[in-house]
Chain A
Amino acid sequence: MLKNRIIPCLDVKNGRVVKGINFVDLKDAGDPVEQAKIYSDGGADEICFLDITASNENRDTIYDVVEKTSKKCFVPLTVGGGVRSVEDINKLLNCGADKVSINTAAVQNSKVVVESSKKFGSQCIVVAIDAKKNGEKWEIFTHGGRNNTGIDALEFAKKMEENGAGELLVTSMDRDGTQVGYDIDLMLKISSEVNIPVIASGGVGNLDHLVDGIKLGNASAVLAASIFHYGKYSVKQAKEYLNSKGIPVRI
């Protein structure tokens, strides 16, 4: 039986781990390579790095972090943030990333998803959808949540599946950093709309939120940052809790 995945996410800026509240007011909390190793030793099913301010700043530090991490962690490594082109994807994969998540570029130029999934295979192309509720629908935000595009998140999700995305990483901008739980409606709507796996993200504050993301939101995987990062829970605790709630996990 396929297991639901728990994916700790590390937000990285200038080669250091940070985690912001609603993407601003960042706190420094450590070395990403060491942190990733702790997660993979603790049973993380995948590791995710998001180079959060990469859209605006020099991002070469992330390549070094990815290269070092991939020599120490032997679970899948997803890297996103500031990925603009097929060449950027190529470079991250060559450094040892297993999947690359594309956000702004996927919205601005859908060819990037089409071309990269053809070139490298859908298995390594994750499209990151940052969505915010507006009335009855959700709209896509880009540039680390700063720009509203007005694009409908559900329509966009379907289009990305057609374009060759292997997975969707769906983040609720309303919930990110708030610790009040995933936007379950958003997760469920997108997950029902597409046939590719959905990774739920944004808003986890306790272990029941992870359970809800899978049971109610129908997510294949759950991503969280702060609850693991600040040591509130370990990945192992999270897995044991999910297991006790009848969710299949790798233990």
Chain B
Amino acid sequence: MNVTIVDYNSGNISSVINSFKEVAKDKVNIKVTSDLNEIKSSDKIVLPGQGSFKSCVDALNNINGLVDVLNEFAVNNKKPLLGICVGLQMFADIGYEETETKGLGWIAGKVSKIDNQNGKYKLPHIGWNQIKIVKDSKIFKDIENNSHMYFVHSYEFIPNDNSVIVASTDYSSNIVCAVEKENIFGTQFHPEKSDKIGLKIIDNFINF
């Protein structure tokens, strides 16, 4: 089994790498690359993302052919892909951080700034918050409802179709924090920074 973490210059991915390697041990081969052929031949892909929606989309587009390969992998071949944080947000059609930017369009919806209710809530939404699991998902195997996960974001994914939502969290409003659409998975929180329970989610993704 080969799991590839897509390295597309989207900021700091060392924590993602460390956590996947910790979970995989010797059983699963974790690769970190932007090489298109290696990505194509992977069994599963992880799409991390830090910084702004725009900077991540730009970084994807800067690698010639990468978006096409990701589309082929996730949409045509329906192989498993996990997006983390902005990696999940990029599934949307459109994002509004910095400027209006087109996303990958895999899950219909938009990415907008979290409503902080006129300063009543601090942004970014940073820290540990509980997730409400609203639907069964392969990545939530043996994960208890209301588990704490580590969040850090100011924008939220709002899908058009609520049926893709598998978990949400309460902040200034109800925020979508995990999605699943067939083979496409995403978490707004950072499983790689969410202690043992986060590593369990990574384990679930690697081993389902």
Contact = CB atoms under 8 A, between A and B. Distances in A.
Given A45-B128, A166-B126, A76 B193 contact: yes
Given A74-B192, A94-B14, A123-B50, A195 B123 contact: yes
B32 to A, nearest CB: 12
A96 interface: yes
Interface in B123-176: 123-130, 148, 150-154, 170-171
Given A2-B129, A3-B127, A120 B51 contact: yes
- In the complex, the 7 A-B pairs of residues with the closest C-beta atoms, listed nearest first: A121-B51, A93-B12, A250-B128, A123-B152, A250-B148, A96-B14, A3-B128
Interface string A116-143: 0011111110000000000000000000
Contact of B52 (A40, A45, A71, A121): A121
Given A75-B150, A121-B11, A124-B12, A96 B124 contact: no
Given A2-B171, A96-B14, A120-B12, A74 B196 contact: yes
A74 B193 CA distance: 5
Given A1-B170, A74-B192, A123 B14 contact: no
B106 to A, nearest CB: 22
Given A123-B50, A123-B124, A123-B153, A96 B129 contact: no
A95 interface: yes
Residue in A70, A123, A250 whose Cβ sees the most chain B Cβ within 10 Å? A123
B167 to A, nearest CB: 15
Interface in A168-190: none
26 contacts: A2-B125, A2-B128, A4-B127, A40-B195, A70-B18, A74-B198, A75-B150, A75-B195, A76-B193, A77-B15, A95-B14, A96-B15, A97-B12, A98-B193, A118-B55, A120-B12, A121-B11, A122-B154, A123-B50, A123-B153, A124-B12, A195-B119, A196-B123, A197-B124, A220-B127, A250-B128
B122 interface: yes
A167 interface: yes
Given A121-B50, A121-B51, A220-B127, A76 B171 contact: no
Nearest to B130: A1
Interface of B: 11-12, 14-15, 18-19, 22, 50-52, 55, 116, 119, 122-130, 148, 150-154, 170-171, 192-196, 198-199
Nearest to A96: B14
A120 B50 contact: yes
Nearest to A249: B128
A1 B171 CA distance: 6
A95 B171 CA distance: 31
Contacts of B52: 121
A57 to B, nearest CB: 25
A235 interface: no
Given A195-B122, A196-B122, A196-B124, A75 B193 contact: yes
Nearest to B50: A121
Contacts of B119: 195
A76 B129 contact: no
A242 interface: no
Contact of B124 (A3, A77, A122): A122
A52 interface: no
Contacts of B15: 70, 74, 77, 96, 98
A71 B151 CA distance: 20
A117 B129 CA distance: 24
Contacts of B124: 122-123, 166-167, 196-197
B127 to A, nearest CB: 5
Contacts of A96: 14-15, 18
B14 A3 contact: no
Contacts of B193: 74-76, 98
